[in-house]
Amino acid sequence: MAKTGEKLRGPQTPFAHRVDEGVRAYQRAQHFNNLTMAMQFLGDEVGLAFSTLGSWRRNVVPLDYDIVKRFAQVCVEAAPELGEPWVSALLRDARMAGYRDQALAEIFAQPVPEQRPEITKFGALPKLPTYYVPRIDALRQLKTLVTRARHTGGQFALLGMTGLGKSTLMAALGNDAAIQQAFAGQVRWFELHQAASEPWLCRQIALSLGKALPPEIDTSDDAINALRTVLPDAPLLLLLDNVTNPRTIQFLCDLGPQIVVVLTTRSLPAVVTLQIPESARLNVAELTSEEAWELVQKFAPIAEDEIEAVQKTLAFLAYHPYAIQVTAGAVQVLQMSWGDIYQALHDQAHSQVFAALPPEHQRMWASLNVDWEQLTSAQRYALTSLGQLPFFTVYSVATGQAAWNTNEVEATVLWRTLAVLQLAHPIPGLMGYYSLHWLVRDFAQQKAHQWSLWERLRFLLWPWRYRLPFRLRWWWPALPQPSTRVRWPWWSPHLPGAKGTSGLRPIRTWLTTTAWRRGPEDLRLHTTPQEWVVVTRLSVRMLIAALLMLCLAVAVFVSISLGGLPFVTTLALVITVWIFWVAYADLRRAVLLWAVASSSSFQAASPNVMEEGPA
């Protein structure tokens, strides 16, 4: 601790200025003779060491929201004149603006406004990533091909291995002003999941155009014919990301000359199946040395004495975009020099573990393993848990709390750490929501093989630790009733859109093996943790209720056959039958809301889902 009367250096960041304002207001309110004494008493009240508070007043920005909130609360209680504007500015400068409403509610006893994730617009273009580096030549070539085809139609493919930036290049094409003008704003983006079907894609395209196909459509031919009636006469550009099954999109080339399709895929056979000529294919390769250097500089300026080490590291990584992002993130967070990073990458890539991997994965996984070696045990468990979860469209702080069995503050800090290391990616505009690169998930899944029995048991119950925004009730269905336009009576043994599949069993099986199929080739699971948790809980509840019904029915039969009057057992049987029916009704509604209807991010448990598109 600094000596009394020691002069501290002045604020050097916007956050430091806000802290200094709070400290000086506290000093005046408490009538302390000097600032050092005020900082000592303020630190004791907040639970901060004097040196830590001093570093805040210079250039250190903390990661823990809870401690920043306590600091703001103590300052405001002592000096109410600071008010809400100072608290809001403090959180903004600490890069915690998303917690503003929560902090104001806790400090000033205001009601917390309900924060619900916004519903993703059908066909909306994704924003370009924070560390976007323009590929001028590749984008110019792609723009030329697409613009020439806007009146004749055509299909174009972006080919390349994972992490090279195919999706980013296609997003840059869609967001380009010249392309938007050429297609009069009729540019739509769709990410194809593993189980995407022709009717599903037809409904997605129709919804993106502000139309809705009739709910009774089941066959692919009917869906395609219905889509023709809602297509505009003007040129329409469809951007399809992660195409794995070419048969799903073959019908698009027959819709008319106004349809232009650009797709990304890792599969050359898929491109051959679609009969896309070589002149319409663009092979997305690694970055050039100049582009890789620009990408590194977006993270932090490079010191002169590190230029050579950075160049050697970039060459070692073969200018792979995502590998460079992960490595630059490690330099930022782990406080390692580029020389140390290069040596660590070299050692990892030549270790016995990585020797069996393909050359492109050696570099990628080597950069991930450098991060792994520096993580704490809690951070390692957090990362490996993500490899054990299904590959969701979006992950949230609530997902982390359930999977890691932590509180909200700890989960937030862990997510922010993974995001800074480029192991998770914050979703723009949605505070506390993240996406995951599938290479990171595969790496985490491999590391999870080292889990102890306790870690496996600790993770097993995560769906029951997940906090839903609504309550699953055992006495009445919790999910909203789908639109009355959906013709699926409760006694029907068939699932809509899955003719020939009957019985109770397919509801859970159909969701997990068809709409939510998991396997090594899955690129993205088009559902959120909330949807998965609801169906998992309801399935287990329905299974337990079915077993209890069987046991209680046998007990009632045996009791009656012995001349008894099993009133209690019969009452228990009736209650169990009711619980079974409630779980079954909710599962059927989940099928309509999330699987049969056009599945999209953040639609779980939304009463307006069926208004946007029929099942």
- Three-class secondary structure assignment of 141-178: HHHHHHHHCCCCCEEEEEECCCCCCHHHHHHHHHHCHH
* Run of H or E residues at 329: helix 321-334
- Give the pLDDT of residue 578: 93
- Give the pLDDT of residue 359: 58
- Give the pLDDT of residue 262: 93
Both tokens assigned to 458: 């600790």
DSSP assignment, residue 80?
G
Radius of gyration of the chain (CA): 28
3-class DSSP state of 598 = coil
Residue with tokens 């002045």: 10
- Give the pLDDT of residue 350: 60
- Give the pLDDT of residue 199: 79
Q: How far apart are CA 46 and CA 81, in angstroms?
A: 19
- Give the pLDDT of residue 1: 39
Both tokens assigned to 430: 């949605």
* Run of H or E residues at 183: none
Residue with tokens 């890792």: 266
Q: How far apart are CA 112 and CA 169, in angstroms?
A: 40
Q: What is the pTM of this model?
A: 0.65
- Give the pLDDT of residue 4: 41
- Give the pLDDT of residue 579: 92
Q: What is the pLDDT of residues 306-347, one digit of tens each?
A: 888 888 888 888 888 888 888 888 777 777 788 888 888 777
Q: How far apart are CA 127 and CA 121, in angstroms?
A: 13
Both tokens assigned to 562: 């012995």
DSSP assignment, residue 32?
-
Q: How far apart are CA 335 and CA 449, in angstroms?
A: 29
Both tokens assigned to 60: 């250190």
Query: What are residue 276's phi and psi, to 5 degrees?
Result: -85, 120
The DSSP string of 184-221 is TT-EEEEE--TT--HHHHHHHHHHHTT----TT--SHH
Evaluate whether 341 touches 370 at the Cβ level (below 8 Å).
Answer: yes
Q: How far apart are CA 567 and CA 559, in angstroms?
A: 10
Evaluate whether 261 touches 240 at the Cβ level (below 8 Å).
Answer: yes
Q: How far apart are CA 532 and CA 515, in angstroms?
A: 11
Q: How far apart are CA 478 and CA 537, in angstroms?
A: 12
Residue with tokens 């600790």: 458
Beta carbons within 10 angstroms of residue 34's beta carbon: 11
Q: How far apart are CA 464 and CA 451, in angstroms?
A: 21
Q: How far apart are CA 370 and CA 330, in angstroms?
A: 8
- Give the pLDDT of residue 33: 77
- Give the pLDDT of residue 221: 83
Beta carbons within 10 angstroms of residue 513's beta carbon: 13
- Give the pLDDT of residue 514: 57
In whole angstroms, what separates CA 562 from the centre of its chain? 59
Nearest alpha-carbon partner for 154 in 244, 264, 281: 281
- Give the pLDDT of residue 554: 93
Q: How far apart are CA 586 and CA 594, in angstroms?
A: 12
Q: How far apart are CA 534 and CA 520, in angstroms?
A: 24
Low-confidence residues of the chain: pLDDT under 50: 1-8, 111-120, 484, 499-500, 520-523, 597-615
Region of residue 140 (left: phi > 0; alpha: psi -120 to 50; beta: else) = alpha
Query: What are residue 158's phi and psi, to 5 degrees?
Result: -105, 115
